[in-house]
Structure 1
Amino acid sequence: MRAARTRAVLTALLLTGTLAVTGCGSGDDGPAPADKAKPEKPAEETDAGAPEKDAPEGVAPGEKAPDGAPATLQFAGSTVDGKSFKGKTLAGKPAVLWFWAPWCGTCKGQAAQTAKLADKYKGKVNFVGIAGLDKTEPIRGFVSSQKVGNFPHLNDQKGSVWKKFGIAQQSSYVMLDEKGKKVHAGAPTGPSELDKLVSGLAG
């Protein structure tokens, strides 16, 4: 009798233990999906921000290469009268960039011819003066006194456009074709060479 009772008690204890183990397993299996669901929320938040990753880092959409402009035309500044200017507006036509300083004697000597060529090739060749190495008032004074106001002039006191084109001294000309490719850089030896260079740009 005692042996039978002992077996019955042992059997009952084994069954209870087995059910307890099974219950822990089912308890682990039950909460598991809930636990796995928690990490998915940050993943969804990350996915929601995915469109921002599509834009170039640190650059607003559409500003990396404005209107597909070539690298040479990706610059901006303010004109001597305070208007904003973007290099991309030069795209589609050849351009003459004239780098000058208001106290430069050579620049003064080239002013009249440069203005004349700007008038002669208006609509065919873009002309832009890029003034530096001085303050706003002398720069404005040069444009007025030398009568070169028939084309825009940038007030490039900080020299950002000068640096972009590797200009080390005034007076210098940089000439770009209609695709923005640099075809000439330097100081013409005289009026006839300048005229020839611009004539070649115009075609």
Structure 2
Amino acid sequence: MGGPLLHRNDPSAEPLVGNVKVTRADWLNVAMDVLVSDGVEQVKVLNIADRMGVSRSSFYWYFKSRQQLLDALLNRWEAGNTAALVAQAETPAASITAAVCNVYRCVVNEALFDTALDFAVRDWARRSGRVRRMLDQSDARRVEALRAMFERYGYEHLEAVTRARVLYYMQIGYDLAQLNEPVEFRLSLVPHYLFVFTGVHPEPEEVEEFRAYSRAHFERQKGREETS
């Protein structure tokens, strides 16, 4: 029987079987999977080695300690999720409603923003003051980027702060609720959400462009789930 298929950065890579040398990225990828599925307490060298079917001794080629691995996970989360949301908020757009659609690409595209990872870090923060401080700083960076986005489109400072907070924290609550609503119903609400968030009615073409983008990613995600 072959060894386990590792979660490589390159999804087209051949499965790793038998006596193989795993990479630093392999250790990080599988550790990330464990963090999301089982929580930070289970991110242990032996657990990860067992999942990959390798000796834990190779871990120390890449990391000095479990803490260094945990720090690398936090760095990847920060460089991924926070950086992606900030980048989307800073992406040029013809209108504030189009700008919000850019931000909401993070909601539907896991390659931009990993929601499951974000919640895993939030859960981790309940157990670690250091991670809590990092999370608070990250949330502040994200809200600040959204505030700046609203101000670019002419909103006064206090209104921009308020709308940024409503937009950001509403989405966190929405994801946490795990409504599991039909995709088409969710997409039917897009123009109404945009009006609530901005006070401006979106252009039909903005809504349709975002719906098409969302459907493509939802279909891609569904296909991955069916083949996994």
Higher RCO, Cα 8 Å, sep 6+:
1
| Structure holding more helix per residue | 2
What TM-score results when the alignment is normalised by the length of structure 2?
Answer: 0.18
Q: Name the TM-score, length of structure 1 as normaliser.
A: 0.20
